[in-house]
Amino acid sequence: MTAQILYEQIGRLAARHQSTLKILVLVTKQSSFQAHRFCGIRYYSKMSVGESTNAPLLLRLVSEACTTANTAGSIVRKVLLSGELGVVDKGVNDLQTKADRCAQYYIVQRLKRCFPKATIIGEEGDDVSENLEGLLSPATTPPEPLFPEILNKSVPEKLLSISEENVVIWVDPLDGTQEFTKGLVGHVTTLIGIAVDARPVGGVIHQPFYEADGVKGRTMYGIPEVGHGGFTVTPPPEGKRIITTTRSHSNQRVEATLAALQPDEILRVGGAGHKAVLLIEGRAHAYVFASPGCKKWDTCAPEAVLVSIGGILTDMDGIPYRYSKDVEHVNQGGLLATAPGVDHSWYLKSIPK
Q: pLDDT tens digit string along 39-76? A: 333 344 345 655 557 899 999 999 999 999 999 999 99
Residue 10's pLDDT band (boundaries 50, 70, 90)?
Answer: low
112, amino acid identity: K
Q: Per-residue pLDDT for 37 more than 80?
A: no
Residue 254's pLDDT band (boundaries 50, 70, 90)?
Answer: very high
The catalytic position among 68, 97, 177, 190 is 177
Which one, of 240, 242, 294, 306, lies nearest residue 268 by Cα?
242
- What local confidence, expressed as pLDDT, does residue 36 receive? 31
Residue 8's pLDDT band (boundaries 50, 70, 90)?
Answer: low
The catalytic position among 68, 71, 97, 100 is 100
Q: Per-residue pLDDT for 7 more than 80?
A: no
Residue 35's pLDDT band (boundaries 50, 70, 90)?
Answer: very low
Q: Per-residue pLDDT for 330 more than 90?
A: yes
Contact predicate 321/331, CB 8 Å:
yes
pLDDT tens for 135-181 read: 987 654 567 899 999 999 999 999 998 999 999 999 999 999 999 99
Residue 234's pLDDT band (boundaries 50, 70, 90)?
Answer: very high
Q: Per-residue pLDDT for 112 more than 90?
A: yes
Report how far residue 75's alpha carbon sits from residue 102's, in angstroms, rounded to the nearest whole number.
7
- What local confidence, expressed as pLDDT, does residue 51 receive? 58
Q: Per-residue pLDDT for 29 more than 50?
A: no
Residue 5's pLDDT band (boundaries 50, 70, 90)?
Answer: low
Q: Per-residue pLDDT for 258 more than 60?
A: yes
- What local confidence, expressed as pLDDT, does residue 214 receive? 84
Sheet containing 119-122: order of strands = 119-122, 167-175, 189-196, 199-212, 215-223, 227-229
Report how far residue 197's alpha carbon sits from residue 34's, in angstroms, rounded to the nearest whole number.
43
Q: Per-residue pLDDT for 331 more than 90?
A: yes
Residue 34's pLDDT band (boundaries 50, 70, 90)?
Answer: very low
Residue 88's pLDDT band (boundaries 50, 70, 90)?
Answer: confident
242-261 mean pLDDT: 92
* Whole-number percent of the chain with pLDDT over 70: 83
Q: Per-residue pLDDT for 28 more than 50?
A: no
343 a catalytic residue: no
Q: Is the pTM of this model over 0.75?
A: yes
Average pLDDT for the chain: 86
Residue 9's pLDDT band (boundaries 50, 70, 90)?
Answer: low
- What local confidence, expressed as pLDDT, does residue 4 receive? 57
197 a catalytic residue: no
Q: Per-residue pLDDT for 87 more than 90?
A: no
